[in-house]
Amino acid sequence: MRIYDRDLTGTASAESGRSQETQKADRDATATSSQSGSTASDRVELSSGLATVSRALAAYGSDRATKVHQLTAQVQSGSYNPSSLSISQGMVANALAGGAS
C-alpha cells in the first residue's frame, strides 16, 4: 500500500531549517511534476495483495459459517458429542499461551 499525502510535512520541531527546506523543495518538485491542470491531492494505491487477503477472509467467513451451522444442527438434534480431552487440552494450551479470553 502506498499513501501519498502532499500536505504532510513530516518535520519535527527540533529539526534544522536545512532539513525543512529540503523537504519543502521535494514537495514543490512533486507538485510541479503532477499532471498539468489538476490540483494537488492525496491518493492511496492498494496493492493486489489486498485483494488476495480479502478473498481469503471471505472464504474463511463462509467456511466458518458452514461449520457453525453444522454444529448448531448437531446440538439441536442431540448428536453433538465433543471430546472432553480435546476441550481440556485446548483450554490448557490457551491458558499457557496467555490468551485467557
Tell whether 97 is covered by a domain.
no
When divided into structural domains, the chain yields a total of 2
Please state, in angstroms and rounded to a whole number, the distance separating the CA atoms of residues 80 and 27.
Answer: 64
Return the DSSP state at 45: E
- Quick one: pLDDT at residue 95? 93
Please list the rounded mean pLDDT of every run of 10 residues in the chain (101 residues): 60 46 56 56 79 86 91 94 95 86 55
Residues contacting residue 65 through CB under 8 Å, at least 6 positions apart: none
- 34 & 54 share domain: no
Reading phi first (left if > 0) and then psi (alpha if -120 to 50, else beta), residue 26 is in alpha
**Does the pTM of the predicted model rise above 0.75?**
no
Domain coverage including residue 31: 2-45
Please state, in angstroms and rounded to a whole number, the distance separating the CA atoms of residues 60 and 23.
Answer: 44
